[in-house]
Chain A
Amino acid sequence: MVAATYQLKRADFIFKNDNDWKKILDKSLKKPSQELINELMSSELKGRGGAGFPTGLKWKLTAEYRSDKKYVICNADEGEPGTFKDREILSEVPYKVLTAMAVCAHVVGSQEGFIYLRGEYKFLAPELTKVIGEFEHYCKEAGLNFSVKIFLGSGAYICGEETALFESMEGKRGEPRNKPPYPTSFGYLGKATVVNNVETLAHAFTIFKYGAKKFYDLGVQYSRGSKLFSVSGDTPKPGIYELELGMSLQDFVAEFGDGDTKAVQVGGASGFLVPRKRFEKTTIGYRGKLTGISLPTGGSMMLFNSSRSMYNVLDNYLDFFREESCGQCTPCRVGCQQLHSGIKAVKRGEKPAQYLNKLLKLTETMQLTAKCGLGQSVANSFSSIVENFREEMIY
């Protein structure tokens, strides 16, 4: 399928609630692990938090690893600027997420699950606790020994990084670990752990309900299925939309733009800024061999119209990264500070315009040497903004 001819296609799975989770849970628990893993693998579901790791493979690796204890963790530390879909899933269809967690526990052989809920969403906790209570009660009736606890975060973006999340749950500073070892063998408390984003689990529910084919038939090659998009910024209709993957940014802007869209930030502050001239050639999905550029996203789509200064946008992102860098590795800690003060110095005329090239070089270093995704991905927004809107950085 050629990206340029692809139209925007709406889907309605995630928030469609038939209240049939008990049936889906019963049906799935009767199936052997291997069958459920095969189902997920053939659906080609990839992690919806943004990183895009194949979900079936994650479950498979954890299932195959020998460990006296295993954990299933739902990552609800939704902190990427411009993302707000996980909150909506947890408040509208929490049973789908819990059901998928229980099926995962059955597949990998786990008795304990956690939902790592960001502190900013604490208001969700009372209702969610009630739902978990009912859910655990049903699991017991169904003969599955599985408990779920909510673990509240306390305002740290980095804890959405899976190994930082473990550290945080272990009562430590949320500092990412070196990988490998990966969570599938060495996760929470050093035990094999599956960490899935809220939306990934909700899609797993869809797959267990309708079968892999229904999901696989949506989207395009390498980017199968639907995805929730959090749309914000200069748009007449901000909100959460479920769309098939593989759309071109051109079609997206035609639907959601305000007629004056100058650029779109795909994937939040850690993603890429795409200027108008590239809308046509950019598709939204995972990286594959599609023609043109394919950009992954955790669902954050922020639109900017011509009244916005891209310098202000970058300044805002760098302020964010500078504060949210955990500080343990030098490339990220010092890099974020230098980038932030660097663009200010260029803007004020204290540094020549060529200094921007030095800063671009610095982001390359960060990409190569930072310990985790935070430091590595600062380069994405920095270079895509500076290269496309260089004059706005200077004047």
Chain B
Amino acid sequence: MDPVQDLIKNLASQHGRNRTNLLPILQGVVEQEKYLSEHSMIEIARELDMPAADVYGTATFYSFLEYQKMGTYIIRVCKTITCSMKGKNQILLTIENMLKIGMGETTPDGKFSLLQTNCLGWCHKAPAMLINNEVYTELTPESVRDILTQYLKK
């Protein structure tokens, strides 16, 4: 059995095989695989005994459920109003220069992907970003460089 099948079976046993467990299972696959491949979605459909089209429909609705291969670390920079006012563009530029990738791209080594996202709920400490589930706030170009340097060492 391929590892994705294994993962899906485990997730289904852990959460349950009802449609109400679909989102936690999709989230589990994204956590591990960094995205939902067509293969994963078909396997999930099989495991939950539901149409693959419904799995696809649900998966593609949510912005945190990626269906294109992403890097190990997904950087999501908040682009909503307060972060935008407090220097989001400078933060983006710093990341783009440092990692040599543009918006929506992944580094060739598959380590980082750069995305923008809507309000993260840290407007009082803008600008903010997420790297996977970690929150970073009150960013400056300097602090972003420090943070990324730490990740580059990982």
A118 to B85, CA, bound (A): 24
Query: By the criterion CB–CB under 8 Å, are B123 and A174 in contact?
Result: no
Q: What is the chain A residue whose CB lies nearest that of B61?
A: A173
Chain A residue numbers with a CB within 8 Å of B133 are 122-123
Chain B residue numbers with a CB within 8 Å of A232 are 82, 123-124, 126
Mark contacts of A57-88 with chain B using CB atoms, 8 A cut-off: 1 yes-contact digit, 0 otherwise.
00000000000000000000011111110010
Q: What is the chain A residue whose CB lies nearest that of B135?
A: A123
Which of A151, A231, A265 is B124 in contact with, Cβ under 8 Å?
A231
Chain A residue numbers with a CB within 8 Å of B121 are 78-79, 83-84, 87, 118, 120-121
Indicate if A154 sits at the interface (CB-CB under 8 A): yes
Query: By the criterion CB–CB under 8 Å, are A302 and B123 in contact?
Result: yes
Chain B residue numbers with a CB within 8 Å of A128 are none
Query: By the criterion CB–CB under 8 Å, are A120 and B120 in contact?
Result: yes
Given contacts A120-B130, A155-B62, A171-B58, contact A238 B123 (CB under 8 A): yes
A316 to B23, CA, bound (A): 29
Indicate if B143 sits at the interface (CB-CB under 8 A): no
Query: By the criterion CB–CB under 8 Å, are A154 and B82 in contact?
Result: no
Q: 15 new A-B pairs (CB below 8 Å) besides A82-B119, A121-B121?
A: A81-B81, A83-B119, A151-B24, A155-B62, A157-B118, A170-B20, A175-B61, A189-B20, A240-B124, A265-B81, A302-B82, A316-B81, A320-B81, A323-B118, A326-B61
A170 to B81, CA, bound (A): 32
Chain A residue numbers with a CB within 8 Å of B14 are none
The range of chain A's interface size is 35 or more
Pair count A-B, CB < 8 A: 123
Chain A residues 176 to 193 lying within 8 A of chain B, measured CB to CB, are 189
Query: By the criterion CB–CB under 8 Å, are B80 and A174 in contact?
Result: no
Query: By the criterion CB–CB under 8 Å, are A156 and B123 in contact?
Result: no
A103 to B105, CA, bound (A): 48
Chain B residues 61 to 102 lying within 8 A of chain A, measured CB to CB, are 61-65, 79-82, 84-85
Q: What is the chain B residue whose CB lies nearest that of A150?
A: B24
Indicate if A119 sits at the interface (CB-CB under 8 A): yes
Query: By the criterion CB–CB under 8 Å, are A238 and B124 in contact?
Result: yes
Residues of B within 8 A of A (CB): 18-24, 26-27, 54, 57-58, 61-65, 79-82, 84-85, 117-126, 130, 133-135
5 A-B contact pairs sorted by A residue (CB < 8 Å): A154-B26, A157-B118, A171-B22, A171-B23, A230-B123
Mark contacts of A202-219 with chain B using CB atoms, 8 A cut-off: 1 yes-contact digit, 0 otherwise.
000000000000000000
Indicate if A239 sits at the interface (CB-CB under 8 A): yes
Chain B residue numbers with a CB within 8 Å of A234 are 85
A118 to B117, CA, bound (A): 13
Query: By the criterion CB–CB under 8 Å, are A81 and B19 in contact?
Result: no
A326 to B125, CA, bound (A): 28
Nearest CB in chain B: distance from A167 CB, A:
9
Query: By the criterion CB–CB under 8 Å, are B20 and A320 in contact?
Result: no
Q: What is the chain A residue whose CB lies nearest that of B122?
A: A84
A147 to B82, CA, bound (A): 38
Given contacts A82-B82, A316-B84, contact A174 B62 (CB under 8 A): yes
Given contacts A82-B82, A123-B135, A323-B118, contact A174 B124 (CB under 8 A): no
Chain B residue numbers with a CB within 8 Å of A233 are 81-82, 85, 123
A320 to B125, CA, bound (A): 20
Nearest CB in chain B: distance from A332 CB, A:
15
A157 to B80, CA, bound (A): 12
Indicate if A23 sits at the interface (CB-CB under 8 A): no
Query: By the criterion CB–CB under 8 Å, are B20 and A171 in contact?
Result: yes
Indicate if A317 sits at the interface (CB-CB under 8 A): yes
Which of B57, B64, B65, B80 is A320 in contact with, Cβ under 8 Å?
B80
Indicate if A324 sits at the interface (CB-CB under 8 A): yes
Q: What is the chain B residue whose CB lies nearest that of A123?
A: B133
Q: What is the chain A residue whose CB lies nearest that of B132?
A: A122
Query: By the criterion CB–CB under 8 Å, are A154 and B20 in contact?
Result: no
A230 to B81, CA, bound (A): 14
Query: By the criterion CB–CB under 8 Å, are B119 and A320 in contact?
Result: yes
Chain A residue numbers with a CB within 8 Å of B22 are 171
A238 to B61, CA, bound (A): 33
Indicate if A269 sits at the interface (CB-CB under 8 A): yes
Chain A residue numbers with a CB within 8 Å of B57 are 172-173
A121 to B135, CA, bound (A): 9
Indicate if A277 sits at the interface (CB-CB under 8 A): no
Chain A residue numbers with a CB within 8 Å of B123 are 81-84, 230, 232-233, 238, 302
Query: By the criterion CB–CB under 8 Å, are A155 and B63 in contact?
Result: yes
